[in-house]
Chain A
Amino acid sequence: MGYVAVSGGEQAIAASLDLTELKRVGAGRSVDVETILAALPELVAQVESEGSLWAPEVAATAVKQAQGSVEEAVFLMRAYRSTLERLYTSRVIDTDTMRVDRRISAAFKDIAGGQILGATRDYSHRLIEFELVDEAPADVRERAAELEHALAAEPSADAAEAQTHVPRVLTYLREINMVKAYPQDDTEPVDITKTPLAFPAPRSVILQALSRGLTQAVIAIGYAAIRGFGLSHPTVGELRRGTVAITIDAPGAEADATEDDAYYLGAIPVTEVESLIVSDEVDDRGNHRSALDVGYGLVVGNDESKAIAMSVLDHSLRADDVRYPTQDQEFVLYHIDGVEATGFISHLKLPHYVTFQSKLDSALRSMAEEGGEADA
């Protein structure tokens, strides 16, 4: 059997693309990118997180072009990213300097620095507010003024200073030897955008892959790891949300250049989670004891579920034990990338005429042979 070249689909494809565009514009309504940025920031952040590219205006444009499809918008972001040169690698971001706008602990009620709820839906009623149907821009401005008045407080330089120096729960647990302390590890990270996945994967690969993973996949597999298809049951030691500064060294600067000489490019929002997980630890004498281990999650944007699930999977994948799929690095890391997963699933729609014909021939031959044997 040989391949047969065919033609004639060009007009149909052009018409199909026009039909897609007509779906976007057919209702005669448009939403500008600034409105998407203002009204749908979490959707935009999800596209940036999975697209692995912080670029709000570009992500909002991708959302518009994709007609709200996250899958398509992420694909557009990854494609756009591939057209740009990487000019710099940032100085190592120390999340201790995060400008925190929310931080909570599920492990301890009273923590140094306090539990700061920030903006969260955790305590909201999940009831649809139908009055939003008729909300106009003037209503939005009026509501914003009301809320700003209600939340007004005397500006506090101390509070602003404290925002970037929030003590960690983990630091205290390490001081009292409840959690093992590790020395600073400056092993150069592996970049999964330049190096194919190989197993066992280094820690930097696991964290990068989880952080940019398909949000719902990270959450679902993290949930499975907790529910019984793994051994990680976490307590959120601390969850903090805020912005981290992106800085670069001056080109040609010495390796030990100080932060004072760095250039500040801006700040991006992140969510960080340190989960505490009771684990079996073996000491130097081979004795087993229960100890607290830490699972780490850090994602771009405000998706707390993704950050918590990432912390669970970080811990889970350290075991690299294939008895549980959630501890199997290949199972999790290969299937968690949005573009990889949706790309492969999507390709199943493309013509497979020849391979399917082959399968069909094989099935027909098998049926004929079975029939022949039955007749004999």
Chain B
Amino acid sequence: MLTRRARTEVLVESGPALAHELAALVEASCPVRVAVPPRQGLVMNQVRETARMSRFYLGEALMSECRVRIGDAEGIGVVLGADGDFARSLAVVDAAYAAKPVPEPLAEVDDRIQAAGRALERKRAAEAARIQRSRVDFDEMGGQDMSVQAVVK
């Protein structure tokens, strides 16, 4: 199974439709209780700068959050932007992974997330290849060696 970090990245980057479908699968198999209804709030983004390796706050981002329960297991849905329904579906899927006993459709849910992950990788591979078209090929220019290693010698 994917880690939570990888799983939530695939779900968020795949857009709300997938999360809604998977949440519907889970909710058809077990009762889901909303613990904290969808709400909007802020996440403060902290960064490590590379000059002195210290931390600072870059600024906030709008986010949506929802928390649900399947039995005693809590699921949290968090996503940038104002989409409470998306956050709710993410929370349902998250709770399904934490629930004991495991909800019956979890294997299918996980398979579909992994498939979406592969689709996301293909999309990113296509975008990366397009960006690489703008990589400068200095070999064609010849002349003096201006690599970092040569220059600092």
Residue-wise, chain A 108-147 has the 8 Å CB interface mask toward B (1 for contact) of 1111101111110000000000000000000000000000
Whether A110 touches B81, Cβ cut-off 8 Å, given contacts A159-B129, A160-B124, is: no
Min Cβ gap B31→A in Å is 23
Q: Are A298 and B128 in contact (CB under 8 A)?
A: no
CA distance A94 to B138 in the complex (A): 30
Q: Are A95 and B47 in contact (CB under 8 A)?
A: yes
Min Cβ gap A62→B in Å is 12
- 24 A-B pairs whose Cβ atoms sit less than 8 Å apart in the complex: A52-B59, A57-B82, A84-B41, A85-B41, A87-B41, A88-B63, A99-B124, A110-B138, A110-B145, A110-B146, A114-B136, A115-B136, A117-B135, A160-B128, A172-B149, A182-B52, A203-B56, A204-B55, A259-B5, A260-B3, A263-B5, A265-B12, A265-B43, A274-B51
Whether A266 touches B132, Cβ cut-off 8 Å, given contacts A84-B62, A86-B60, A294-B50, is: no
Q: Does A251 contact B (CB under 8 A)?
A: yes
CA distance A52 to B48 in the complex (A): 17
Q: Are B121 and A52 in contact (CB under 8 A)?
A: no
Pick the contact of A300: B52, B58, B147 (CB < 8 A).
B58
Pick the contact of B52: A109, A173, A203, A212 (CB < 8 A).
A203
Residues of A at the B interface (CB closer than 8 Å) are 49, 52-58, 81, 84-95, 99, 101-102, 108-112, 114-119, 151-157, 159-160, 162-163, 168-170, 172-173, 176, 178, 182-189, 191-193, 203-205, 207-208, 211-212, 244-248, 250-251, 259-268, 270, 272, 274, 294-296, 298, 300, 314
Pick the contact of A115: B13, B55, B124, B135 (CB < 8 A).
B135
Q: Are B49 and A296 in contact (CB under 8 A)?
A: yes
Q: Which 5 A-B pairs have the closest CB atoms?
A: A109-B146, A266-B80, A55-B62, A87-B41, A110-B147
Whether A262 touches B4, Cβ cut-off 8 Å, given contacts A246-B45, A296-B50, is: yes
Pick the contact of B42: A85, A114, A182 (CB < 8 A).
A85
Q: Are B146 and A187 in contact (CB under 8 A)?
A: no
Q: How many A-B residue pairs have CB under 8 A?
A: 255
Q: With CB as the reference atom, state the residue of chain B lying closest to A176.
A: B152
Min Cβ gap B106→A in Å is 18
Known: A55-B62, A248-B78. 19 other contacts (CB 8 A): A54-B61, A55-B61, A86-B42, A92-B47, A93-B58, A108-B146, A118-B131, A153-B126, A154-B129, A160-B125, A185-B54, A205-B56, A208-B58, A246-B61, A246-B80, A264-B9, A268-B61, A298-B49, A300-B58
Whether A247 touches B5, Cβ cut-off 8 Å, given contacts A54-B61, A191-B57, A266-B79, is: yes
Q: Chain A contact residues: over half helix, strand or loop, or mixed? A: mixed
CA distance A16 to B95 in the complex (A): 53
B1-59 at interface with A (beta carbon < 8 Å): 3-6, 8-9, 12-13, 40-59
